Structure 1
Amino acid sequence: MSRRTHGGPARTGRSRATAALLATLTCGAALVSCSTNSGGDSGAASVAPRATPPDTSRFSGTPPSALASAASSIIGSARASASAAASSLSAAASEFEASVSADTARASAQAQAELKKVQGPGNARSDVAMTGMPRAKTGGLLAVLVNITNNTDRTASYAVQIDFKNADGKVVETRFVGAENLKPGQRAQPVAISRQPTQPQLTPVLAKAQRY
């Protein structure tokens, strides 16, 4: 007669549970072993941080780049400098013209009145020469230094007409200068200033010179 073993199913269940537990422990040991560093330290398994994407729903527009901001700053600075330079040049031109006009206004009016009586180029063109003045000294204005020399043997006065012509030879502006009571050999140097814009460029021409 065969003997029946008591507790067979229960013993079999415990064996299976033990095997499953051993398998789990083995796999866990393997995972920990792979996660440790090469130095053999038994530290915790390393976990790589995961980047958090930006919340684009909070964006209200495209922020200006650093390059755009720098370019805007440079342009603004250049405009301010150009404006300041233009204002300074205009002030210099006004100052130069005022200083000249104060000395020559009456002589200019006298010269213009005298030349109304003259037909042709006048009798004193050989006594008059012109020299262009650097714009750096005139505030950017076109100005001519008119050299009047009394080459006669007696005291005389002079009236001079300067025409400013464009590239086509057309007279755009006329200025009058004069010198009174010059002794023999004496020289006067009035200035004729054009009030026209710097462009197009004009050329000063001696139109008339009269000794009286």
Structure 2
Amino acid sequence: MNQPSPLRRALGGRTARRLTTAVLAAVIVTGAAACNSGAPSPGTARSTRTVSPEPHESPSASASPRTQGDFEASVSAELERSRQKAAKQLEGVQGQGNAIKDVSVNGLPIATGEEFRSALVRVTNPTDKASFYAVRVEFVDASGKVLDSVVLGFPDAPPGRTVSEHANSRKAAGVKTFPRIAQAERG
């Protein structure tokens, strides 16, 4: 037979359920507000990076003196440094580069009124050491005309793992486009 929790016994079943629902709703609202800065990012490209999961210990929970704005500025600056390094690396590349087979791209669905066109770019590092990848993604229309070209940098792609970033184009917004990898170079 199930015994009610001490909280339910003290408050009564309905009151505990209402309290639990209210607390859960407050956590969701607070989390959503913290994640949504509402400010558009400048430029034609914005990217996010994900790395396939790797077992590790959880970081300790300590308060950070940094604000959300500080964090966003730091991430934005790091992405821009990575993009500039990638653009410089691709300047001397002839043809598609040495890592074209390590990279794939998928266009993401377009919703009415979107301000940019987005593609998910994945890099799988087949080597035995971490590597920097420079990737140029082109957004082309049905006739093959390049509407925009976005450069991404993948710093320290782990060996034997896949990392991904979004390539976003404001120039290709509102037009049916197809993303393709134009160049990929492993440094």
- Report the TM-score when normalising by structure 1: 0.49
The structure whose Rg is larger is 1
SS in 2 for 1:122: coil
Structure 2 residue identity aligned to 1:94 = P
Deviation of residue 134 (structure 1)? Answer: 3.4
Change (3 A) 1:99 1:160: closer
* Residue equivalent to 2:116: 141
* Structure 1 position 210 matched with structure 2 position 179: no
Indicate which of 16, 40, 56 corresponds to 1:94: 40
Indicate which of 175, 190, 203 corresponds to 2:165: 190
Higher relative contact order (CA 8 A, sep 6+): 2
Q: After superposing the two structures, state which structure 1 stretch, 119-128 or 164-173, moved more.
A: 164-173
Aligned length: 121
* Structure 1 position 115 matched with structure 2 position 115: no
Q: Distance in 2 between matches of 1:180 and 1:105?
A: 12
Q: Distance in 2 between matches of 1:165 and 1:98?
A: 18
Q: Distance in 2 between matches of 1:139 and 1:93?
A: 15
Structure 1 unaligned regions, length at least 5: 1-90
- Report the TM-score when normalising by structure 2: 0.55
The C-alpha deviation readout for 1:75-129, integer Å capped at 9, x for no partner, is xxxxxxxxxxxxxxxx979369767582632211111110001001001111111
* Residue equivalent to 1:178: 153
Q: Distance in 1 between matches of 2:147 and 2:80?
A: 21
Change (3 A) 1:99 1:205: closer
Contact 1:104 1:190 (8 Å CA) reproduced? no
Where is the helix percentage greater, Structure 1 or Structure 2? 1
Indicate which of 131, 138, 146 corresponds to 1:163: 138
Q: Distance in 2 between matches of 1:125 and 1:133?
A: 20
* Structure 1 position 201 matched with structure 2 position 176: yes
SS in 2 for 1:189: strand
